Amino acid sequence: MTNHKTGTREEWLAARLDLLKAEKEHTRRGDELARQRQELPWVRVDKPYRFDTGEGKASLADLFKGRSQLVVYHFMFGPGYTAGCPACSATADSFNGVLPHLEARDTIMICVSRAPIEKLLAFRRRMGWSFNWASSYENDFNFDFGVSASARPRKYAPPLEANELAAFRMLSDQHFRDNLPPVVAQNAGTSGIDVAGYLSEGHGFSVFVREADTIYHSYSTYTRGTEFLMGYYGILDRTPKGRSEDECGPMTWLRLHDEYAKGAAKSCCS
């Protein structure tokens, strides 16, 4: 016998209609937020970034591949990692299918990480992905757009959200290191790096626009701001059990998709 509230079909329908009002308001609010994102001022990008790709060296302009819009997923895969971050990998599992639709709307999507291109392409083969991936190993792109920590003095503060910047600053704090969420050590281990090395990289999503020969940065978001890319969470949020993460902590159940079959994730606490 279930412990969950039960009712008649009529009671369910009445409750569902009440919820539908809130869902429609959420949708309308989302439309308004999209409008506000589109109205953000653009910032001209003048630095001549050079990336390594599977097709050779590329400039930021080259990554557009003739389109006017470029969206970048900042994938956590630092130079010392032996595998990509499991959370970023789970997010990237959905990318291949959306690429033709984005390109039909004059938009290119690409992942950028700081690991050398050979590591990125080898991991891409392992995961069965085909989306474009570029290495920023030899340039400042990750530092300038707030997804890699740097010991070097910066001319300006990177566009990090406050909580992400605080995480980088706390790397040297022993109390912080001793009280990390379980998922941090777990993901660091899967990525083949120590915790400090793992946390020196961050994930994010940035958008660039090209008009003639000029490129502008229009938008970036970090941490939970990238959750719109995690389709599995949207589905789980609509099931009775939801994300089922209360006991073990957020994202501890996530694994690289080829590790579930090995029995590596029988529960969120495994």
Mean pLDDT along residues 211-237:
94
Domain residues for 194?
40-230
Q: Give, as one character, the DSSP assignment of residue 152.
A: S
Residue 143: what are its φ and ψ, rounded to 5°? -70, -45
* pLDDT tier for residue 265 given thresholds of 50, 70 and 90: very low
Query: Is residue 251 in some structural domain?
Result: no
**Domain-embedded: residue 14:** no
The CATH number of whichever domain residue 61 belongs to comes to 3.40.30.10
Give tens-digit pLDDT for 106-152.
Answer: 999 999 999 999 999 999 999 999 999 999 998 999 999 989 886 55
Give percent of the chain above pLDDT 70: 86
The residue among 172 and 203 whose pLDDT is bigger is: 203
- The answer as to whether 93 is a domain residue is yes
139: left (phi over 0), alpha (psi -120 to 50) or beta: beta
pLDDT at position 96 over 50: yes
pTM of the model: 0.87
The reply to whether 102 falls in a domain is yes
Higher pLDDT, 254 or 75: 75
Taking a C-beta distance cutoff of 8 angstroms, is the pair 267, 103 a contact? Answer: no
Q: Is residue 10 part of a domain?
A: no
How many structural domains does the chain have? 1
- In this predicted structure, what is the pLDDT of residue 133? 98
Looking at the domain assignment, is residue 241 inside a domain?
A: no
Segment 8-46, tens digit of pLDDT: 999 999 999 999 999 999 999 999 999 999 999 999 999
Asked if residue 34 is part of any domain, the answer here is no
Q: pLDDT band for position 154 (50/70/90)?
A: very low
Mean pLDDT of all residues belonging to the chain: 88
Whether 165 has a pLDDT exceeding 80, the answer reads no
Q: Which of 8, 21, 30 is nearest to 227 (CA)?
A: 30
Q: What SS3 class is residue 131?
A: coil
256 lies in some domain: no
